[in-house]
Amino acid sequence: MKPLIAPMARRYAGASSAAGPLLFVESTRRAQLGEWVRIEGDDQLERRGQVIDVGDEITVIQVFEETLGLAPATAAITLTGETARAIVGRDMLGRALSGTGEPLDGLPAPIGEARLPIWGAPINPVRRRHPSDFIETGVTAIDGMNTLVRGQKLPVFSGPGLPGVELAADIVENARPAHGEPFAVVFAAMGITERETQVFVSRFRQSEVMQRTVLFLNQASDPTIERLLTPRVALTTAEHLAFAHGIHVLVVMADITHYAEALREVAAAREEIPGRRGYPGYMYTDLATLFERAGVLRGSPGSVTQVPVVTLPDDDITHPIPDLTGYITEGQIVLSRELHQRGVYPPVDVLPSLSRLMNAGIGKEHTVPEHREWADQLYAVYARGREAKLMAAIVGSEGLAPADRTALEFVDAFELQLIHQGGSRRSLDDTIRIGWQLLEELPREELTRISESTWKLRPSHRLEKQP
């Protein structure tokens, strides 16, 4: 196939074949992986595309829009010479945009400060600073039991029908840094419905959180390839706000499962050899290119923190998507179907949940001095109560030892008084206070994780000492 015009933009007459959203073009010279493409068909519609594979003889183009009615042989294909870029800048705050940055809020397209490649660049390990600064999310199960720190990537594992996305939206509304530094949220939604789009936009506007938030909303009806671009556009925006403007940015991505399914769909269309459960063998690497863009840099006042939401297919935590996500990230927040059915919100099961960086972000310098022992003791009693609950189902509560019966009673109080918030924001001070109230109901001799010096730090003791 002979190019019609040359320099940077190269125009070609016709594709050799098509398969669904893919066009296969012969003899394209100097095509770049990720290059933007314009396609003009006989139906007078101009479509967007992207180069997703460059071979010796065939270049594969993923078409964004519907290909119905497009005749490959007569299509005019222009390789623009430009890879995918995102408009970035502080004027993005307060905007609701599509997954590729097109306005959804009826306002003009953002002008921005720069157009940056969306693929980003790996953070130099030498420039990374170990995350250690507490982020208050307003969620007790996170702030108290599985603390989130700046620069961390802490996913939410949610089964189908569980409120993982709703919890993410709560975090968007309620999260704030511990010391009042510049703070912003980038929310990247992938594969959501039109109704969910309207819900998110209206909810954030009503809560006045919109002025410090950028929404990138990829809908289920949007092209599959756009779903793969959405988190990268969001992360590019977050990196610019963090490292060019010194803002601490929280990136919430929901749903990574929809992203992975789009990745599988594109891989299948390219006839790649499938890996586990049909997902491409490079999915681990691909996910890592997203998650490893979180971090704190030495000499930079800003940071990028990630809270991705992962829906567990069939509630299977061993599924490739949560399995690979767990390898790359620093813990997980696991939602419980049983707690959800009992009306506990957020239904976080603290036992399988984990924040691997919690110890770096709590204690005297970050939260409260007693935080570690306080959390350890709550975990210990709750875990014993859960075991007692299983035993009671066999032998009855009467057959339990007195300490086990006490722990069994603690389970309901812990779930209904501490974990359950009903959608309202809870400060860390309130979280610590409620936890101490629960512990004070237990015999002191059973609180083996609490030292005497820490026991004296409980709020009721401090009040007793006041004149």
Question: pLDDT at position 206, please?
Answer: 84
Can you tell me the distance from the alpha carbon of 80 to that of 311, in angstroms, rounded to the nearest whole number? 37
Residue 119 lies in a domain: yes
pLDDT at residue 207, as a whole number? 80
Distance (Å, rounded) from C-alpha 172 to C-alpha 340? 21
Give per-residue pLDDT as tens, 307-357. 999 999 999 999 999 999 999 999 999 999 999 999 999 999 999 999 999
What pLDDT is attached to residue 5? 41
- pLDDT at site 419: 97
Q: List the CATH number of the domain containing 70.
A: 2.40.30.20
Asked if the model's pLDDT at residue 204 lies above 50, the reply is yes
**298 and 218 share one domain:** yes
Of 51, 68, 83, the residue at which a domain comes to its end is 83
pLDDT per position as a tens digit, 53-97: 887 788 888 888 777 778 888 888 888 888 888 999 999 999 999
At 56 the pLDDT is 79
Q: Is the same domain home to 188 and 334?
A: yes
The CB density around residue 298, as the number of other CB atoms within 10 Å, is 9
User: What's the pTM value of the predicted model, to 2 decimals?
Assistant: 0.90
CATH at 338: 3.40.50.12240
- For residues 56 and 144, membership in a common domain is answered with no
For residue 357, give the 3-state DSSP assignment: coil
Q: Do both 424 and 457 map to the same domain?
A: yes
Same domain, residue pair 214 and 308 = yes
* Per-residue pLDDT at 462: 60
**Residue 328 and residue 254 in one domain:** yes
Task: Kindly report the number of other CB atoms within 10 A of residue 199's CB atom.
Answer: 15
Residues 349 and 460 in one domain: no
Is 221 exposed, middle or buried, given 0-12, 13-18 or 19+ CB atoms closer than 10 A? Answer: exposed
Work out the angle between the directed axes of helices 320-328 and 283-291 (0-180°, nearest 10). Answer: 50
Q: Would you place residue 461 in the very low, low, confident or very high pLDDT band (cuts 50, 70, 90)?
A: low
| 97 and 211 together in one domain | yes
- Percent of the chain at pLDDT > 70 equals 96
Q: Are residues 287 and 176 in the same domain?
A: yes
The total number of structural domains in the chain stands at 3
Per-residue pLDDT tens digits for 89-121: 999 999 999 998 999 988 999 999 999 999 887
CB atoms within 10 A of CB 362: 25
16/407: higher pLDDT: 407
pLDDT at 300: 85
For 413, the token pair is: 């109080």
pLDDT at 460: 75
What own/partner pairs with CB < 8 Å and gap ≥ 24 does 3-11 have? 3/29, 4/76, 7/81, 8/80, 8/81, 8/82, 9/78, 9/79, 9/80, 9/81, 10/78, 10/79, 10/81, 11/76, 11/77, 11/78, 11/79
